[in-house]
Structure 1
Amino acid sequence: MTEGRARIAILGASGYTGAELVRLLARHPRVEIVALTADRKAGQSMADVFPQFAPLTLPKLITIDEVDWTGVDLAFCALPHGTTQQVIKRVFESAPHIKMVDLSADFRLRDPGVYEQWYGHPHQALELQQEAVYGVVELYRSDIRKARLVANPGCYTTTAILPVVPLIEAGAIEPDHIVIDAKSGVTGAGRSAKESLLYAEVTDGMHAYGVGSHRHMAELDQEYSKAAGRTVVPSFTPHLIPMTRGIYATIYVKTGAGVGAEGVHRVLADFYKGEPFVHVLPLGQVPQTRFVKGSNMAFIGVIKDRAPDRVIVISTTDNLVKGASGQAVQNMNLVLGFPETTGLEQIALFP
């Protein structure tokens, strides 16, 4: 361990979000990666799985059972949904000093009954769910600083929550008239081999999926309802598009009397003034995925619709950075008391 550095483990390092964590943390000045797990690839080097890491000196991939938790300060869980609850429960039982940032959906929903409804099985760590903090930094910063367990939000939800929650809280829009048309790059589906994600199946086309039933709806319901102080059920439809990275959410809202696009823009610009990773564009300017690719930024645009009481809000993030691993590092920085932007100052990769 390098003096003064936090010791970090990444569980599930062989997936896209795990690799993105390695990319971001490898040059983070305040941490040292001391453990990387990938059960099916245990024994291999990280460079065997992701050759871009060949120049780096990194720990060998091992199984979770082989991790020496006494030498870990914080762990990222980049494991599949439905597996993390038991893993984190076991880790906390043996090493309660550890902090956790979970990138799965296992602790995002505060109501265990809602979790069971959407994920088809009872929650396996109810006592931990009670202490988990939902990790949208811009909304829950003070709670995250004190957390032992942070539930990192989904990519779609991060991209749709950032522009909408401040508008609901300000009373600038009508909560019952929110329509979210969202698109994701293929990495949002993970690295597992799936026929539907083959090049020939995805390229030169676009399709909706999870129509009327996508699990991220539960997170949107939760956060929008909390902001409104009553039940809010938005319309949300995700689409898969033939690009590697990016989330692009076109959100249609109805404003209150006299608010209009100018009022919506004013609320968002004021709310995010000074925020390092959320940038509200000038009124009428449309964001593009290419201008956030590889960065931890969210770009938000506000555009007038033809009807004076309708406004189009467009939000975009990189699904692997602000939508996953970058936000997870942002959460880690808060939990460990580091400056929030540390290791995340990269400008987007363009062209």
Structure 2
Amino acid sequence: MSENDKVKVAVLGASGFIGAELIRLLAAHPKAEPVFLSSQQYAGRPLGQVVSGLRNSPVAGRRMRSLDELTKVDVAFSCLPGGVLPKVLDDVSAEADLVLNLGGDYRLHDAAEVAEHYPESAAGWRQPIPYYVPEFCPRPAEPVVNLPGCMASAAIYALYPLFAAGLVEPRVVVDAKTGSSGGGHGGAEHPALRDGNVRAHKLHGHRHAPEIRQAIGEFTGTTPDLQFSAFSLPVVRGVYAAAYTWLRPDAGAPEVRRAYAKAYADARFVRVAGGRSPMALPMLKTVNGSNTAEVGASAEGGRCVAVAALDNLLKGGAGQAVQAMNLIFGFDEGLGLAEVGAWP
């Protein structure tokens, strides 16, 4: 590409929370141009009428289109509901040089786990499609790339340094809490029940559990024995994950500190937070509105608690996808992405 060329971008499933966040980022990106926005439900209507938060966007007047109208683009971001992309991937790939999938259809490598956790995707599931976390993976050369889920991202960032350095036993418990936007437009919980409330969402069998096991095993060589439970928070944005592990006999607090410093020394969008004050540890207020994930860990008495916080719509979704696009196309990694959240 020449210096003045822009990447022609399609956002598939543009009316959802992640799709809208992608459009917001891409419309302000100096190297990208959103030229195709799809919505089967709202085809023909202007974007700004469908997504109120984008009515002041420079692309607010662009009309949503049916997916079968897709024409040639450099990259297509798929934010389609589960089970849809496997039915249309060949058609999308014929028009897009690169497909970045933000959905869960191809995250798992094991066919039996796909059938259990993504039954709507199983019929059209195929492998190999790379699972890409920018901080841990080489730049993919394949034309279809799958990105991680939001709660999985937080858990992976929290656990990776411990397993990469061989500091902990394989047994892990992860407690992940998420805001309401994580459920998308289809969430059925009434605001009166969500507001001022914290409740269990899924204590066993969450689809992010095999994803985390698979990713940690692939990135570090050790697959954890993982208990993953998810909870709902009375906030709109944010994921907060706490990972409880047991240190090996030769590991302690100094080794844990060194492991996190080493793992994220060159990671632009993962920051190691911590100190004597609890306010120095990761929290939602310091990451929401940014593409930055914060991680921190505390070891004492043979046990280690690692925590991670991120914005589920950005570092856990649209921001991570733009970061991936930047790296794949050879742009500056942070182009179009905020590193600092809104405060307070």
Q: TM (normalized to structure 1)?
A: 0.91
Establish whether residue 291 from structure 1 lines up as the match of residue 286 from structure 2.
Answer: yes
CA distance in 2, matches of 1:231, 1:301: 21
| 1:294-313 aligned within 5 A | 294-305=289-300, 308-313=301-306
The answer for the alignment partner of 2:37 in structure 1 is 36
**CA apart distance, 1:159:** 0.3
Task: Report SS of the residue matched to 2:315.
Answer: helix
Question: What is the aligned counterpart of 1:180 among 163, 174, 179?
Answer: 174
Question: What is the aligned counterpart of 1:189 among 180, 183, 187?
Answer: 183
Question: What is the aligned counterpart of 1:327 among 311, 320, 323?
Answer: 320
Q: Which moved more, 1:215-224 or 1:9-18?
A: 215-224
Establish whether residue 153 from structure 1 lines up as the match of residue 148 from structure 2.
Answer: yes
Residues 297 and 317, structure 1, Cα contact 8 Å, conserved in 2: yes
**CA apart distance, 1:122:** 6.4
Residues 16 and 320, structure 1, Cα contact 8 Å, conserved in 2: yes
| 1:225-264 aligned within 5 A | 225-227=217-219, 229=221, 231-264=223-256
Residues 10 and 78, structure 1, Cα contact 8 Å, conserved in 2: yes
Task: Report SS of the residue matched to 1:222.
Answer: helix
CA distance in 1, matches of 2:91, 2:327: 24
CA distance in 1, matches of 2:217, 2:320: 23
Residues 25-58 of structure 1, C-alpha deviation per residue, up to 9 Å, x if partnerless? Answer: 1110001010001111111111112233223332
Residues 160 and 180, structure 1, Cα contact 8 Å, conserved in 2: yes
**CA apart distance, 1:231:** 4.4
CA distance in 1, matches of 2:238, 2:121: 32
Question: What is the aligned counterpart of 1:135 among 127, 132, 137?
Answer: 132
RMSD, aligned α-carbons: 1.8
**CA apart distance, 1:250:** 1.2
Q: Which moved more, 1:317-326 or 1:276-285?
A: 276-285
Establish whether residue 272 from structure 1 lines up as the match of residue 273 from structure 2.
Answer: no
The answer for the alignment partner of 2:333 in structure 1 is 340
CA distance in 2, matches of 1:282, 1:204: 28
Q: 1:256 to 1:283 in 2, by over 3 A?
A: farther
Matched letter for residue 212 of structure 1: H
**CA apart distance, 1:61:** 0.6
The answer for the alignment partner of 1:12 in structure 2 is 13
| 1:58-69 aligned within 5 A | 58=59, 59-68=62-71
Q: 1:294 to 1:311 in 2, by over 3 A?
A: same
**CA apart distance, 1:227:** 4.4
Matched letter for residue 89 of structure 2: I
Residues 210-251 of structure 1, C-alpha deviation per residue, up to 9 Å, x if partnerless? Answer: 211111111012123334545433111110011000000111
The answer for the alignment partner of 1:222 in structure 2 is 214
CA distance in 2, matches of 1:126, 1:173: 34
Task: Report SS of the residue matched to 1:323.
Answer: coil
The answer for the alignment partner of 2:77 in structure 1 is 76
CA distance in 2, matches of 1:199, 1:282: 33
Identity %: 34
CA distance in 1, matches of 2:321, 2:98: 12
CA distance in 2, matches of 1:222, 1:203: 34
Establish whether residue 101 from structure 1 lines up as the match of residue 95 from structure 2.
Answer: no
Residues 8 and 33, structure 1, Cα contact 8 Å, conserved in 2: yes
Q: 1:123 to 1:200 in 2, by over 3 A?
A: same
Residues 294 and 321, structure 1, Cα contact 8 Å, conserved in 2: yes
Task: Report SS of the residue matched to 1:61.
Answer: coil
Establish whether residue 23 from structure 1 lines up as the match of residue 24 from structure 2.
Answer: yes
Matched letter for residue 269 of structure 1: A
How many residues are paired up? 337
The answer for the alignment partner of 1:315 in structure 2 is 308
Matched letter for residue 254 of structure 1: W
Residues 122-172 of structure 1, C-alpha deviation per residue, up to 9 Å, x if partnerless? Answer: 634455x31x221211011x243x231111100000000012123112101
Residues 256 and 299, structure 2, Cα contact 8 Å, conserved in 1: no
CA distance in 2, matches of 1:312, 1:184: 19
Residues 168 and 227, structure 1, Cα contact 8 Å, conserved in 2: no
Q: TM (normalized to structure 2)?
A: 0.93
